[in-house]
Homo-oligomer: A and B are copies of this chain.
Amino acid sequence: MKRQLTHENTLKVKPLGIDTYREHIIFMRSDCNICLSEGFAALTRLVVRYGSKSIVATLNVVHSDLLQEHEAGLSDMALSRLEVTAGDFISVSHLKQIESLSDVRSKMYHHKISEEAYRRIVDDITKGLYSDIEIAAFIAGCAGDNLDDEEITWLTSAMVNSGATLSWKTQMVFDKHCIGGLPGNRTTPIVVAIVAAAGLTIPKTSSRAITSPAGTADTMETITNVNLELEKLKEVVSLEGGCLAWGGSVNLSPADDILIAVEKALDVDSAGQMIASVLSKKVAAGSTHVVIEIPYGESAKVRSREQAMKLERCFKAVGEAMHLNIKVLITDGSQPVGRGIGPALEAMDVLSVLENRKDAPTDLKEKSIMIAAAVLELSGTFEQGKGSKFARRILEGGKAYKKFKAICMAQGRFEVPAFARYNTDIKSEVGGRVTSIDNRKLARVAKLAGAPHDHSAGIYFNAPIGTKVKPGQVLYTIYAEAKGELQYTLDYVKSAGPIIKIT
Contact = CB atoms under 8 A, between A and B. Distances in A.
Given A19-B62, A105-B266, A132-B133, 16 more contacts: A6-B483, A16-B64, A16-B66, A17-B62, A18-B60, A19-B42, A20-B43, A21-B41, A39-B484, A97-B444, A108-B140, A108-B144, A109-B144, A134-B265, A136-B137, A137-B139
A314 interface: no
Contacts of A268: 105, 108, 137
Contacts of A169: none
Contact of A105 (B17, B267, B454, B492): B267
Contact of A19 (B63, B136, B484, B492): B63
Contact of A62 (B18, B137, B140, B266): B18
B66 A487 contact: no
A424 to B, nearest CB: 13
Given A21-B42, A137-B266, A265-B133, A487 B61 contact: no
Interface stretch (A30-38, A151-159, A393-401): A30-38
Interface string A68-90: 00000001100000000000000
A43 B265 CA distance: 9
Contact of A109 (B7, B141, B270, B480): B270
Interface string A36-61: 11110111000000000000000011
Interface in A462-491: 480-485, 487-488
A114 interface: no
A15 to B, nearest CB: 7
A357 interface: no
26 contacts: A3-B487, A6-B483, A6-B487, A16-B62, A17-B65, A18-B64, A18-B66, A19-B60, A19-B61, A21-B43, A22-B43, A38-B484, A38-B485, A39-B481, A41-B453, A94-B488, A97-B444, A109-B143, A110-B146, A133-B135, A133-B136, A133-B265, A133-B266, A136-B136, A137-B266, A141-B143
Give the interface size class of chain A: 35 or more
A76 B97 contact: no
A27 interface: yes
A309 interface: no
A431 B210 CA distance: 59
A453 B43 CA distance: 13
A101 B15 CA distance: 36
Contacts of A266: 101, 105, 133-134, 137
Contact of A144 (B65, B110, B133): B110
A329 interface: no
